[in-house]
Amino acid sequence: MRAPLWLLPMSALACAGRGETVLEFNYNSGTLDSFRSAIPTAEQLIAGVPATAGSDSLSDDSVAVLAGQGVVFARGINQTTRDIARTLRLLVQAEPDHFDTEREEFVWGPWQMPSGPGQARLSIRRDDAAADFEYSYTLSRQMPNEPHTRTVVVWGGTHLDPEDPEQGSGLTAWDLDANAAFEAVHGEGHELDPAVGQGRFAMIHGYASHGTDSVFFHRATFRDFVAPGGDPASLAAPVSVDHFYGRVAEPTGTVVDFLHSEIDSDLCGSNPTSCFGREPRQGHAERFVFGEFVVDSGSGRAEVVLSGGDLSTEVRMTECWNAALTRTSYLLRTSDSAVQMMPSATCAGRAAQSSEELGLPTADDVPPWLLYTLGCAVDDNCTKH
């Protein structure tokens, strides 16, 4: 799934002139800097892809099919996370408009939206007694002088590591349904516009030590998600997908990026060899469980399980590739047989082992309290400050 630039209105907001601040400086710059650090950077949130994926290699016939699918997943994640993180960080680089000493809260705005009705307001608050995140932030919309119309559209929380900000944990969420409802109530047409998007996106990130390795992990959920688009006729059907991804940094300097995704998608006909064919299919969606790892942004391995839909039997695929993203092995297995799709197949180096054999992280390694915050964010059970 590819997520387009659906935060362009917010990006325009970040670049818009906001006038002069009237804040009385009742804080020091160190305090403001720590609050700004609560907004994650794009680099903290993105999924790694093979270095060759930035070239035209993905259109080559010899390219690894499953590796290409992993790049598609990663780009969908990265487009969304970059838009959110870069927009929020650009907004907080300006001087804040208010600091509430009692609530320990910085506020930017309100200012006029560059498109759509109402105003926008960004706040970051610190609460040392909070059960989950020390810092919380919200980006909200409201009509001028009508605080009762305030609607939170982006929110999150961060627990900073005092020694290394990149080793903290956090939540970031975007509520397209709330944004669309605000537009419907206060916009000129007073009706729900499908072109502004729907659903929710939420993700958590964190850090853990596994022996001598450093592990940066993420879990991202797209729930009933439809990206905004200019033409309602071109809008895709709602998509729900979960991604678990991250990076293992070893003391030797080796870096292993991993990605696990689960989605329902129409990828096969009745014949297992038809999966991931070039021709579009009109059938039933298969359950698609995808896992891959990439070593030092180059060679790697992917394993896929496809079931249901048009398939009469479960299909498992294993693929290896080299640093050029050229497939070196492609094994297809069903309950009846196993077929090596290449005459001379090799899985070199770490790709000779599965993710499980290498001991790479899984979603089970995520702290339960972080998974809970993610679940309540996409299911509307979290309190938005």
Q: Residue ranges per domain, the chain?
A: 8-14+25-378
pLDDT at 6: 35
Return d(Cα 249, Cα 33) in angstroms, integer.
Answer: 27
pLDDT at 163: 81
List pLDDT tens digits, range 227-286.
776 555 556 677 889 999 999 999 999 999 999 999 887 777 777 777 776 565 667 888
Note whether 112 and 100 are within 8 A (CB): no
Look up tokens 């998509």; give the residue.
239
**pLDDT band for position 60 (cuts 50, 70, 90):** low
Burial of residue 29 (number of CB atoms within 10 Å: 0-12, 13-18, 19+): exposed
pLDDT at 170: 95
List pLDDT tens digits, range 7-21.
545 555 555 555 555
Does the pLDDT value for residue 318 go beyond 60? Answer: yes
Burial of residue 39 (number of CB atoms within 10 Å: 0-12, 13-18, 19+): buried
pLDDT at 127: 93
Q: Which residue has the higher pLDDT, 163 or 363?
A: 363
**pLDDT band for position 41 (cuts 50, 70, 90):** very high
5: DSSP letter:
-
Residue 30 region by backbone torsions, left for phi larger than 0, else alpha for psi between -120 and 50, else beta: alpha
Mean pLDDT computed over 95-122:
91
Note whether 31 and 157 are within 8 A (CB): no
- 41-45, 195-199, 226-230, 302-306 — which is least confidently predicted? 226-230
Does the pLDDT value for residue 365 go beyond 60? Answer: yes
List pLDDT tens digits, range 336-356.
888 888 888 999 999 999 999
Does the pLDDT value for residue 156 go beyond 60? Answer: yes
pLDDT at 1: 37
pLDDT at 217: 96
pLDDT at 275: 76
The per-residue pLDDT of the chain, averaged, comes to: 85
**pLDDT band for position 59 (cuts 50, 70, 90):** low
pLDDT at 85: 93
List pLDDT tens digits, range 136-150.
999 999 999 999 999
Structural tokens at position 184: 């419907």
pLDDT at 26: 64
List, as own/partner pairs, every contact residues 269-274 make where C-beta atoms lie below 8 angstroms and the sequence separation is at least 24, other chains included: 269/310, 270/310, 270/311, 270/312, 272/306, 272/311, 272/313, 272/315, 272/332, 272/334, 273/332
pLDDT at 213: 93
CA torsion sign for 177, 181, 183, 184 is: positive
pLDDT > 70 in the chain, percent? 85
pLDDT at 340: 87
Residue 376: count of CB within 10 angstroms of its CB: 15
Burial of residue 324 (number of CB atoms within 10 Å: 0-12, 13-18, 19+): middle
Residue 25 has phi, psi (to 5 degrees) of: -80, 80
Does the pLDDT value for residue 46 go beyond 50? Answer: yes
H helix or E strand, kind and range, residue 239: strand 239-249
pLDDT at 15: 58
pLDDT at 311: 82
Q: Which residues, including other chains, have CB under 8 Å from residue 242's CB and lie 6 or more apart? A: 219, 220, 221, 261, 262, 263
Mean pLDDT computed over 93-101:
91
Return d(Cα 227, Cα 152) in angstroms, integer.
Answer: 18
**pLDDT band for position 91 (cuts 50, 70, 90):** very high
